Amino acid sequence: MKLITEVNYEPMSILTEVDSSGNKFLKIVGPMAVAEQKNKNGRIYPRAVLESAVDKYVNDYVKTNRSLGEMNHPPRLTLDYERATHMVTKLTPDGNTWIGEAKVLTTPMGQVLKGLLESGVAIGVSTRGAGSITESGGIKTVGDDFFLTAIDAVSDPSGPGCFVNGIMEGYEYELDSTGKIIQQNIAETAKKDYDKKRLSEARKLELFNSFISQVSKLGRD
C-alpha cells in the first residue's frame, strides 16, 4: 500500500462557536471526501471503499477524540501532535460526499491556522491514508484495502500542482496483527534482498527500470 493524499478544492466555511465554558473557537465546515468521481489526481474512490474507510476513521479516531489534522499534507501516515492544527468532530454522508466539521485547536500550529482563516485565506482539506491503486484506461481506482488516518488543512486550495502529486512512491505501508501501521522503505528492502541474492534477474531488471523511471520524474518536476 502507498501513501495517498487527496486535496479537496472546495474552500471550507468558517464558523465561530462557543463551548460549554463560554470560550469561543473557530470551526471549519465543508465537503471533506468524495466517492465515485474522478478527482484532480485522476483517482476514483468507489463508494463502498470510501464509506468503509470513513466509518472506521469515525469509530477509531473521531469518537475517541484522536482525529487530529495538520497544516498541509505531510509525507507520512502517522500523526505529529506537535503540528496538530485542528480536530475533526463530525463526518456526515450526503450522497457520495462526506461533509465534515473540524475544531481549530489552541495549539501553536492551530494558532497559525486560526490566523490564516481570520485573514481571509482560503482553506481546503486533504485526506491522508494508504491503499493500493489499480489503473485501467487512464483511470486509477483506489482498492478496498484503503484506510484513512487524517484529514489535513491546506492553504490556497486552488493553487498549482504542488498539492496534487499525492503518492509517495518510496514507501509501502502494511498493518500488523494489532492494527499498527508499519512503514517500509522500498529501496532499503530491495537492497537488502539484493545483497542477500534473493532477487531473480528479472526482478533486478524491474527494480532498475523503476529507479530510472523515478529519476526521470524528478528531472521533469
Q: Look at residue 39 and give its three-state secondary structure.
A: coil
Angle of CA points 55, 56, 60, to nearest 5°: 125
Q: Please enumerate in sequence order all residues whose Cβ is within 8 A of that of 146, keeping only pairs 6 or more positions apart, or say none.
A: 1, 4, 45, 49, 50, 53, 129, 130, 131, 132
Positions marked active-site: 73, 126
Question: How confident is the model over 72-94, as pLDDT tens digits?
Answer: 878 788 889 999 999 999 999 99
Residue range 42-48: average pLDDT? Answer: 91
Q: What is the C-alpha separation between 175 and 134, in angstroms, rounded?
A: 20
Write the DSSP symbol of residue 197.
T
Full-prediction pTM beyond 0.75? no
Mean pLDDT score across all residues of the chain: 77
Residue 60 has pLDDT above 90, yes or no: yes
Question: How confident is the model over 191-210, as pLDDT tens digits?
Answer: 554 455 555 566 556 666 66
Q: What is the C-alpha separation between 86 and 121, in angstroms, rounded?
A: 16
Looking at residue 138, its pLDDT comes to: 79
pLDDT-based confidence at residue 164 (cuts at 50, 70, 90): very low
The C-alpha cell at 150 is 487524517
